[in-house]
Structure 1
Amino acid sequence: MRILHTMLRVGDLDRSVNFYTQVLGMRELRRNDYPAGEFTLAFLGYGAESEHTALELTYNYGVSSYEKGTAYGHMAFEVDDVYAACEQMKAQGVKILRDAGPMNAGKTIIAFIEDPDGYAIELIGKKY
């Protein structure tokens, strides 16, 4: 058993694909349009879906934003250097929710950023 994908609803598919590919280095793996259902799905990831978990971005025609609710927490991405990643992302105009630094009551270096739809993303320093 394995996780296949995580799905997020987005208000502007191209804007979100650009964020995940240009800022977080993912590739668009495939895109499927369903005109009869009035939605489009884009799958992104760091490798083939047969071997890696993907991120599914769902765009419902005509819906530009969603309420996040209180159940959603965040997605986490490992980066080599959290401080450098935050500086690079700031330069790209990414909203930083929590600057890079040690986690509360721990030593792991983390930061939080926000994607174009307001979803929180944690950056966690690679442990060597």
Structure 2
Amino acid sequence: MSFSGEQHPGVQAPTPETDGFRLNHTMLRVKDPERALAFYSRVFGMRVLRRLDFEELRFSLYFLARLEADDAVPEDTGERTVWTFSQKGLLELTHNWGTEDQADFAYHDGNAEPQGFGHICFSVPDLDAAEAWFDANGVEFVKRSDQGKMKDVVFVKDVDGYWIEVVEAARLAKLGA
């Protein structure tokens, strides 16, 4: 690998102690796992790799991925757990039991004040087709690809109000400075 990363103030060279480190997953808390799982499996084609329940602590974790045809996912649950935690780019949905029964319960989406967390992002092969798919499935748009100052970037919301950026990589060559 010859590319060593862009250099900016604050960037430091990786040390040998970090060899093998990789980003495994991002976690979102969800009010109702059935609704959230329906959304991510139907709209984004994700599959649940592993569900882990923590009865004493009253929460469940769902690890999702967009699997490729050649992914060799182990059938054995222990082996699949190990495999899951060795992947890149997973989405973890965390359900704190009982939130689904609280009518006025909602998590902060990170985009309302005070801002913090912003969004997750999916890359798609055809942004126009993705927008049509979202329309056909009643997905709420924050911004369409032809709106705002950043063209060719879509933002939608999931069932918990989290923002999802959707991009077509081929359209982004001239993005930014």
Q: 2:29 corresponds to which residue?
A: 9
Letter paired with 1:75: I
Rounded Cα–Cα distance in structure 1 between residues aligned with 2:44 and 2:152 = 18
Structure 1 length normalisation: TM-score?
A: 0.88
**What is the total number of aligned residue pairs between the two structures?**
126
Match of residue 59, structure 2, among 39, 60, 78: 39
Structure 2 length normalisation: TM-score?
A: 0.65
Ranges in structure 1 where 5+ consecutive residues have no aligned partner: none
Are 1:121 and 2:141 matched, yes or no? Answer: no
Q: Does structure 2 retain, via aligned residues, the 8 Å contact 1:103–1:109?
A: no
Rounded Cα–Cα distance in structure 1 between residues aligned with 2:152 and 2:144 = 10
Q: Does structure 1 retain, via aligned residues, the 8 Å contact 2:119–2:165?
A: yes
Ranges in structure 2 where 5+ consecutive residues have no aligned partner: 1-20, 68-72, 74-83, 101-105, 172-177
Bigger fraction of residues in strand: 1
Match of residue 62, structure 1, among 94, 98, 104: 98
Q: 2:40 corresponds to which residue?
A: 20
Of structures 1 and 2, the larger Rg is shown by 2
Q: 2:138 corresponds to which residue?
A: 93
Bigger fraction of residues in helix: 2
* Percent identical residues: 39
Give the root-mean-square deviation of aligned CA atoms.
1.9
